[in-house]
Structure 1
Amino acid sequence: GGANQAAMKEVFEVSEDIFSAMVTVDVLVAELWMAFLLIGVAKRKNIDRAFKADATAVDSLQNKMEAYTASIAKVTSFNDLIFILALAFGATGLAHWMSDGIAPFIAENYPVLSKFSLTSGFFWLVVIATTIGITLSFTKARNLEGAGASKVGSVFIYILVATIGMSMNVMEIFHNPGLFGVGLVWMIIHVGLMFLVAKIIRAPYFFLAVGSKANIGGAASAPVVAAAFHPALAPVGVLLAVLGYALGTYGAYICGLLMQASVGVY
């Protein structure tokens, strides 16, 4: 997703030109795939039949989500919004405070770890904020979803996406056409693996489509794909996207280290 992409830009100190080109690749390739996913929604019964998938699992999930949403739904009050924002900004502030202490400490005492970006304050900011969010999901704070927590979060996600988009230069792709090829190769591998695994485990098309978009699109687009199946399933897209963000932060960091090692940066 774009959030992970922006985080890795700061961690690995990527130039603005390269980042601008990669944002363009991300938008063009990922959204092209999203179009195919949405087309597939109308043909999901045929796809499920080809996968020999039991779609009753999706129906069961839909019923559970409708029941869960109804059980926690409430009229959002001013206090609810303040509490949601207080948790969000409080967690972010705590992450800033901790990263401002951890990064300099490592830089001073363990400078050799700089090659792993562990002296980057932004790296620790993202990791700590992500960890706090995951931890809160196991507490009663998760009930704030009934007051619209994910909707408030979506507002900030769209602000982030807009901010990233402002740095996009479509013409930059013509200066680095190879990057577009790299993006297509990545997407072909992703799509191939998704269909292969879905076929092997006989997964319904819903899980393939939403899981794929949560992996490469994030919270801005995964709920759209999920809602195309049924509005009650939109929260599933949000949850999978958040999981994708969490895992993507760590996965992208490890991937970045492996890529650096492959070209002998170390």
Structure 2
Amino acid sequence: MITDGFTYLAVLLLIGGAIRLLETGTNHRIFNYLPGVVALYIIVMMLSTFGLWQQSASVNATYGTVKGNILPAMIFLMLLKGDLRKIAALGPRMLLAFAAAAISIGVGFVITYTVLNTWLPADAWKAFAALSGSWMGGTGNMVAIQGALNVPDSSMGYTLLMDSIDYAIWVILLLALVPHAKLFNRWTKSDTGIIDRVGEKLDLGEDADKRIDFTALVFLLGAGLAASALSQNLAGLMPATSFFTGTTWAVLIATILGVSAAMTPMGRMAGSNELANVMLYAIIALIASRADFAGLTQAPLYVFAGLMILIIHGLCMVAAAKVFKLDLFSCGIASLANIGGVASAPILAAAYSQMLIPIGVLMAMLGYIIGTGGGLLVGKILSLLS
């Protein structure tokens, strides 16, 4: 049994690295349905259930110090590619579709929680809030909300379960609808020429082709950690409430710093995504290390809740498409940019045309920007309903 904090952290990072190596090195089909971060959570939770480590003073100190300090740094780094000027170039149609997707997802969470509240645990709203952050942005936003709202580590199992199972179903559905785009567009009377012109104007190749070098990594790591320190120090000066805790303020401040830095030369440096993902894997592993399978007694209810949220979201998007004459590509990319993030939105875009991949990337980055704030807003509403 592990009782030393450093050994505990080393084992968690080794497991995360091994899973990532398998995911990228083997390209096994299972990772199409079980993302690496979810596999990491399941394996670490299994080891926690078997008692591989003990919550000793050293382990607890390592858990709190590492998780608390790298969370704002991860948020800062993951937002460095979210240049608002490039996102604005998407035009009003794409931004309207994105807004409709984000709002309808929030509405889906509120309606679903209201309907199922009687059968859910008292603090289930926190797990829903964390998932709303993921489904408006990405896994990084989910982790940010988990820290901000102090979501119990045991509840995060339900969140990731919904995020993986329901998300996989949604991706399959959106890909299956691609061949029916012309029929849908005729029904909504949309002009697809606008999307084609936007795709031709966008070019993300300049940033994508930059090679990661030692100088950039060292600077970005230092900048991320400095942003974390600054966020936490400024958070200590803010008024605290039962909802806006010190961690909540730190998360929001780190978000503002990241969005601002993205419009500087720092945003064009290669390596920020890679560093953010290393921190994300570390945080996911730390969260999973406090969970166990015995706590997942209501898994079917949570999976059903996720499907209910997606159905409400889908119906709202169809209605918005008809009213605002949106095409299927815009609706699908806006939806998956929220729910799937940068890992899946470009895949759906490529199913329509390789030229449209940059739109998927930028839409997903917009999700990263609004995901934390949107999830906290949904969490506040759900807390009032609980």
- What is the TM-score when the length of structure 1 is the normalising length? 0.78
Matched residue, 2:384: 261
Identity of aligned residues (%): 28
Matched residue, 2:363: 240
Q: 1:114 aligns with which of 224, 241, 244?
A: 241
Note the alpha carbon deviations across 1:63-93, whole angstroms, 9 max, x for none: 112xx346x46863565x733x356424421
CA distance in 2, matches of 1:10, 1:82: 31
Once structures 1 and 2 are overlaid, which stretch shifts more, 93-102 or 241-250?
93-102
**Match of 1:114, SS?**
coil
Matched residue, 2:119: none
Matched residue, 2:306: 183
2:379 aligned partner, one-letter code:
G
1:214 aligns with 2:337: yes
CA drift of 1:197 comes to: 0.8
Matches within 5 A, 1:100-139: 100-106=232-238, 110=239, 113-120=240-247, 123-139=248-264
CA drift of 1:34 comes to: 0.8
2:253 aligned partner, one-letter code:
I
Q: 1:205 aligns with which of 320, 328, 345?
A: 328
CA distance in 1, matches of 2:188, 2:292: 40
Matched residue, 2:348: 225
Note the alpha carbon deviations across 1:156-200, whole angstroms, 9 max, x for none: 448737974894988965534322222122111211111111121
Runs (5+) with no aligned partner, structure 1: none
Asked whether the 8 Å contact 2:221–2:275 carries over to 1, the reply is no
Change (3 A) 1:245 1:76: closer
User: How many residues are treated as equivalent by the alignment?
Assistant: 246
CA distance in 1, matches of 2:276, 2:198: 27
Note the alpha carbon deviations across 1:10-59, whole angstroms, 9 max, x for none: 11111222110111011111121111111112222222122211111121
**Match of 2:236, SS?**
helix
Change (3 A) 1:125 1:211: same
Matched residue, 1:38: 175
Note the alpha carbon deviations across 1:89-129, whole angstroms, 9 max, x for none: 244212211233133344xxx4xx23123322xx3443233
1:82 aligns with 2:202: no
Matched residue, 2:85: none
Provide the aligned C-alpha RMSD in A: 3.0
Matched residue, 1:17: 154
Asked whether the 8 Å contact 1:173–1:179 carries over to 2, the reply is no
Deviating above 6 A after TM superposition, structure 1's stretches of 4 or more consecutive aligned residues are: 168-172
Asked whether the 8 Å contact 1:51–1:199 carries over to 2, the reply is yes
CA distance in 2, matches of 1:249, 1:88: 22
CA distance in 2, matches of 1:246, 1:48: 29
CA drift of 1:252 comes to: 0.8
CA distance in 2, matches of 1:154, 1:261: 37
1:160 aligned partner, one-letter code:
L
Asked whether the 8 Å contact 2:148–2:251 carries over to 1, the reply is no
